[in-house]
Chains A and B, each alone.
Chain A
Amino acid sequence: MVGKKMLVIDQSWCKGCGICVAFCPKQALELVEEKVCLKADNECVLCGQCELRCPDYAIWLEDLEE
């Protein structure tokens, strides 16, 4: 069974390369002062593309406990 997921960001590991921002299919992310943030309108569809390409493991999807 595929459970619900949520997007997690650890800004302390983000180096501001902008890869996740550029390749997010929903343009849901932005850099604020060189750190990744989810934009306020939250367009994230939990596809995991950002986690796949973040070279610093600063953004990922986590299983939500039921």
Chain B
Amino acid sequence: MPSELVHKFMRIDHLPHIWCAGCGNGIIMRDVAVALQELIDDPESGVSREKTVIVSGIGCSSRAAGYMDFDSIHTTHGRAIAFATGIKFAHPELEVIVLTGDGDCSAIGGNHLIHAARRNIGLTVIAFNNDIYGMTGGQYSPTTPTGDVATTAPYGNFDRPFDIAQLAAGAGASFTARGSAYHARETTELIKQGIQHKGFSLIDVFSVCPTYYGRKNHKGGAVEMLAWQKENMVPASRYYAMSEEKRRDKIMVGILTHNDFPEYTQQYARLLERAKKAK
């Protein structure tokens, strides 16, 4: 019998999962489960298991929707946010959580991401960002750092990478944050805040794919990649206490933007009211 958390929130007949040894997806999926458990256990949060839906696209990371014991839907590549938009629009009372990969949400699904952010529809998108297409064998993705190799960039990738959290913020998302597989507690807290936030929330969680990204780029296996995150990614409280010079080489873990923009389904409800009165 696994831990109470796993027993309660995951489909244990599908575990152990198929992810590689040391894959960050398992760590991030646990963060999501802990965040949901803590919210469900808190009567003031308004979050319940019955009113939570988990949506994913296609990719190693997107398999998480199949492992989590909630009402869930595993959709097509790149379209997780599109399906989630439909679910939220039809049932605004639901807590709709999207588990997606960097390829799923910023390559093929990039258009859905920016428009869901622009509309500020109340979804919580958790990007399992491993800098690569894991499932299909290591093609470079929009977040692969410049210079790194991938099966489709054997001499090094010369594209400039997206910062998914900044991309979503620029497109109008009202809550954007960055987490990491190493910073499990901080990431769980960010996921909780994202779920509680009424508008569009995007949490870009840096994952690790030792199989197709780490080892191919001489960044080591899972342990070395997580140690890199520990060293180079700094929780906001410490980050903002650092001098500007020290900050330069570090990546902040925490909230990037948190605004009170009008939420899309609430706007629609208001429109309906107006239209009814005008009749």
- Measured CB to CB, the nearest residue on chain A to B182 is A53
Interface residues of B in 184-199 (CB under 8 A from A): 184-185
- Measured CB to CB, the nearest residue on chain B to A21 is B223
- Measured CB to CB, the nearest residue on chain B to A55 is B26
B269 at interface (Cβ–Cβ under 8 A)? no
Q: Are A60 and B22 in touch, CB under 8 angstroms? A: no
A19 to B226, CA, bound (A): 8
Q: Are A23 and B26 in touch, CB under 8 angstroms? A: no
0/1 per residue, B7-31, Cβ < 8 Å to A?
0001000011101111111110010
Q: Are B26 and A56 in touch, CB under 8 angstroms? A: yes
Q: Are B223 and A19 in touch, CB under 8 angstroms? A: yes
Q: Are A57 and B21 in touch, CB under 8 angstroms? A: no
Of the candidates B2, B24, B184, B222, which one forms a contact with A57 in the assembled complex, judged by CB atoms under 8 Å apart? B2
A15-B185 CB under 8 A given contacts A57-B3, A57-B6, A60-B2: no
Mark B residues whose CB is within 8 Å of A. 2-6, 10, 15-17, 19-27, 30, 181-182, 184-185, 221-223, 226-227
Query: What would be 9 A-B contacts, judged by CB atoms less than 8 Å apart?
Result: A15-B16, A17-B222, A19-B22, A23-B226, A52-B184, A53-B181, A55-B24, A55-B25, A62-B4
Mark A residues whose CB is within 8 Å of B. 8, 10, 12-13, 15-19, 22-23, 51-58, 60-62
